[in-house]
A and B are shown apart, each in its own frame.
Chain A
Amino acid sequence: MSFENVIQYFIAGITTGSIYAIVAIGFNIIYNTTGIINFAQGEFLMLGGMISITLVQFVPLPFAICAAVLITAGAGYLLERTFIRGIKNPTPLRMIIITIGLSILIREAALHIWDEKVRSLPYFTGNEITSIAIFGAHFSPQVLWVLGTSALIVVFLNFFFSYTTTGKSMRACASNRIAAALCGIDITKMVSLSFVLSAAIGALAGCVISPITQTQYDCGTSLAIKGFTAAIFGGMGSSTGAIAGGLIIGIIEAASISIIPLAYKDAITLTVLLGILIFRPGGLFANGDASSKVDRP
């Protein structure tokens, strides 16, 4: 394999990998405040992509993306409000079944609202054939948009969780719910907020990736599986882990194409997922709070 090829695969890997990382972070935000693994996370990306594609016919691209993010965030709030908040006895199994149900519901709704056609947003700069060359490898400027946006999301979240009172109180909820309530933190509000936040970053990721991977009513499922693998890989609840997990899985996937047929790309991720669950179920950067959640009384 030539050096150019290596670079090419590497860039392709970190591009999709950064999207997996964002999905994984979305999983983590909700998991940390609620203990729920929201399997409808991938659908937020699909919704973001689909809504912006529809809107871009009427308004300029930046407005379409902003509106898509806001609408998806609203959808995230509604989902939590309608299907999650009312659950009297939220056991993990029950919540998993509910979120899987939600993901199917959103997918089918999307099939009826749009249709089964594959669509995509226009490239943010240039078009399909514009390319930038680095070390002999060629890639689309959209790659920079994806990487930049992902980095921006990570920086924003880092700032939000470390320096704002609301962000810190979400971490407090993640660390100890009862103690958080005893500090006067409204847990219900934090749970809503976690859904809104993860829907919003999901939608944004769904928009920037749309020109490269295309968007379809059911594209959320595979993204959710990849993102989930990344989250597990990095250790559920750890954002550093999510980023590392996402990038590693993206790179493994991209590299695998050079060895085995493209059709097996998804199988690679699932093999990694099984491997982690068998050999290192806590993940690479197992978060103390997340892993102790199980045995806390």
Chain B
Amino acid sequence: MLRIRNVVAGYGNLTVIRRASLHVKTGEIVTIIGGNGAGKTTLLGTIAGINQSREGEIFFDNHDITKLSSDKITSRGLSLVPEGRQVFSSMTVLENLEMGAFIRYRKGEKDEIISDIEKMYRLFPILESRKHQQAGTLSGGEQQMLAIARALMGRPKLLMLDEPSLGLAPIIVQQIFSIIKELRSFGNTILLVEQNAKAALNIADRGYVMETGHILLEGTSKELLENKDVQRAYLGKEYRRINE
């Protein structure tokens, strides 16, 4: 579904992504793990068209989307839930959801949009009780749920999530991850970027490990969970215990 090859990207003189390649197949949950500053967010931003790649190609659904702007990419069914939520804080929860379905209003899917909003309320009951509240007044976890729901309103073929657990209480993180797992059972394809490697690998089918702009490792979640380097660097297991 998504295939990127040898992508190089960065800001100004700074190169952040150095020849990264990866792919996501339909129905999969794929995760990219890695530490701070590894380039995960930049990579997702480049795929979504927020920043442009300097080299390499990005194919989505067999179409070249390398040079497209982010609104065009979203219209093709590739949605990004950006890092730090980025809800429309001065608009109500309901309006945020409506904006998520922006591309569908033009296709005249008004009735389906209304029923999708109801679906989102079932998936995230807290949003229904807050529907007329300004999104900026929600708590961090609620905003994250709204951001995910907003992206789902566009009925994306592939949903990309950037650090959905960032800055949230552990219990909320658990909720968010179980929702992501639930999304897969609805047939969504997901590309998940996380610093919380363990949680991410536990729900993903495959994973990529990223460091200083390179993709270092790739494999199934099981392989990565058992990999000693991954355990030491990202899963917080001690070096000695691994060697024992």
- Residues in A whose Cβ lies below 8 Å from that of B38: none
- The CA of A31 and the CA of B50, in the complex, are separated in Å by 22
24 contacts between A and B (CB under 8 A): A165-B102, A168-B99, A172-B95, A172-B99, A175-B88, A175-B89, A175-B90, A175-B91, A176-B86, A176-B88, A181-B69, A181-B70, A182-B50, A182-B70, A182-B74, A182-B79, A183-B99, A183-B100, A183-B102, A183-B103, A184-B75, A186-B69, A288-B89, A289-B89
- What is the predominant secondary structure among interface residues of chain A facing chain B? helix
- Residues 84-137 of B contacting A (Cβ, < 8 Å): 86-91, 95, 98-100, 102-103, 105, 136
- The yes or no answer to A169 lying at the interface (CB within 8 A) is yes
Check if A288 sits within 8 Å of B90, measured CB to CB.
Answer: yes
Partner pick for B102 among A176, A178, A185, CB 8 A cutoff: A185
A165-B105 contact, Cβ under 8 Å, with A182-B80, A183-B74, A184-B71: yes
- The CA of A287 and the CA of B90, in the complex, are separated in Å by 9
Interface residues on A, range: 20 to 34
Check if B88 sits within 8 Å of A179, measured CB to CB.
Answer: yes
- CB nearest to A237 among chain B residues: B90
Q: Which residues of B contact A (CB under 8 A)?
A: 48-50, 69-71, 74-75, 79-80, 82, 86-91, 95, 98-100, 102-103, 105, 136, 150-151, 154
Given contacts A172-B91, A184-B102, A185-B71, 7 further A-B contacts (CB under 8 A): A169-B99, A171-B88, A175-B89, A175-B91, A180-B99, A183-B102, A184-B74
How many inter-chain contacts with C-beta < 8 Å in the A-B complex? 79
- The CA of A184 and the CA of B49, in the complex, are separated in Å by 11
- The CA of A259 and the CA of B87, in the complex, are separated in Å by 50
Check if B154 sits within 8 Å of A178, measured CB to CB.
Answer: no
- Residues in B whose Cβ lies below 8 Å from that of A184: 71, 74-75, 102-103, 154
Nearest CB of chain B from residue A248's CB, rounded to whole Å = 24
Nearest CB of chain B from residue A212's CB, rounded to whole Å = 36
Check if A168 sits within 8 Å of B98, measured CB to CB.
Answer: yes
- The CA of A176 and the CA of B102, in the complex, are separated in Å by 15
- The CA of A168 and the CA of B136, in the complex, are separated in Å by 16
- The CA of A178 and the CA of B69, in the complex, are separated in Å by 11
Q: Which of A165, A176, A186, A289 has the most CB of B within 10 A?
A: A176
Nearest CB of chain A from residue B77's CB, rounded to whole Å = 10
- The CA of A180 and the CA of B99, in the complex, are separated in Å by 8
- The CA of A124 and the CA of B86, in the complex, are separated in Å by 49
- The CA of A181 and the CA of B50, in the complex, are separated in Å by 8
- The CA of A184 and the CA of B163, in the complex, are separated in Å by 21
Q: Which of B98, B102, B105, B136 has the most CB of A within 10 A?
A: B102
Partner pick for B48 among A169, A174, A182, A185, CB 8 A cutoff: A182
- The CA of A181 and the CA of B103, in the complex, are separated in Å by 11
- The CA of A288 and the CA of B82, in the complex, are separated in Å by 21
